[in-house]
Every structure is written in structure tokens, then in C-alpha cells.
Amino acid sequence: MMKTENLQTILTKLLGSLSELEAILIEEANQLHRLQINPVSLQIITDSKSQLLSTISYYDELRKQQALAAPYEQDAKLAACWKEIVKRSKKAQELNQKIHDLLDIHMQKSSSFKHSLNKAGSASALYGANGQSNQDLSGKIYNISV
């Protein structure tokens, strides 16, 4: 009975950590939905996510060391908890995929913007490093006197 209680505690802590992770992933997705990303806020979220993933990994390792194996069909309480853990894990995976897609969009926009700036910057240079004009002036010159 003691091992079942220990496993129940581990599963409860694992479930709580997954719930926290889901909230952090939702906040990260909200941050990435914005046109302009706040890098400080995103870094705080990333740090929190990293800590939670370490915690989840720790509890999962403890879970695997127990005598009973998932999905814990022999104990209704453990089975219900495990079912909720699987559900939360799938939700976290879906959110993480959404975040990946949003990051890809931001990276593409950033790359495109950088390319445009480089292209515009190279075409608009009036003088080179030697102080001479880089542009060949073409066209007609009019001399108008009144």
C-alpha cells in the first residue's frame, strides 16, 4: 500500500507540473502572437518552461522507478490520474507545435526584413570607403539660364 501512496504523490506532482507547463505554453503562444515580441518577457517564460520541463522529467523518472507500470489499470485512482497526465501531455505537445509554427513565422519575417534592409542599404550608398561616389549618374543634364 505504501508504494501506491508514493506513486499517487508522484503522479499528483507530475500532473500539477504539467498544468503549470500548459499555462506557461499558453502565455508563450500569446507573446508570439504579437507583432512585436518583448524579448525580456519571452526569456522569462523560456526560463520558467525550462525549469518546469526539468521538474517533469524528474517526476517521470521517479514514476518509472515504481513497481507498478502505467496505465495503472489495477488502481482506479492511479488510472484516472494517469489518464489526466496523458491528456495534459497531448495538450502541451499541441501548444508546443503551435509555438514552433509561430517562431517559424517570426524567423521568416525577420529574415525577410533583414534581406530587405541589406538590399536597400547597398543600393542607397552614395559614397564608398575612399570618399568617392559609387553611383554612376545617368540621364540628361539641363543647363537652364533665365
Q: What is the pLDDT of residues 3-23, one digit of tens each?
A: 778 999 999 999 999 999 999
Distances (CA, A) of 96 to 16, 28, 34, 42: 18, 9, 17, 14
What pLDDT is attached to residue 44? 96
Model confidence pLDDT, tens digit, residues 98-124:
999 999 998 888 787 777 777 765 555
Quote the cell numbers at residue 104.
Answer: 517559424
Model confidence pLDDT, tens digit, residues 35-46:
888 999 999 999
Residue 44 located in a structural domain: yes
Residue 33 located in a structural domain: yes
Residue 110 near residue 41 (C-beta atoms within 8 A): no
Model confidence pLDDT, tens digit, residues 59-91:
999 999 998 899 999 999 999 999 999 999 999
Residue 58 located in a structural domain: yes
Residue 91 located in a structural domain: yes
Output the CA torsion 87→89→94→95 (10° steps): 120
Q: How confident is the model at residue 33 (pLDDT cuts 50, 70, 90)?
A: very high
Residue 98 located in a structural domain: yes
Residue 38 identity (one-letter amino acid): N
What pLDDT is attached to residue 58? 97
Residue 145 located in a structural domain: no
Residue 146 identity (one-letter amino acid): V
Which residues are CB-neighbours of 18 under 8 A, at least 6 positions away?
56, 85, 88, 89, 92
Is residue 138 helix, strand or coil?
coil
Domain count, the chain: 1
Quote the cell numbers at residue 32.
Answer: 508570439
- The Cα 39–Cα 145 span in angstroms is 59
Residue 115 located in a structural domain: no
What pLDDT is attached to residue 1? 46
Task: Tell me which residue range forms the domain holding 69.
Answer: 2-107
What pLDDT is attached to residue 77? 95
What pLDDT is attached to residue 106? 84
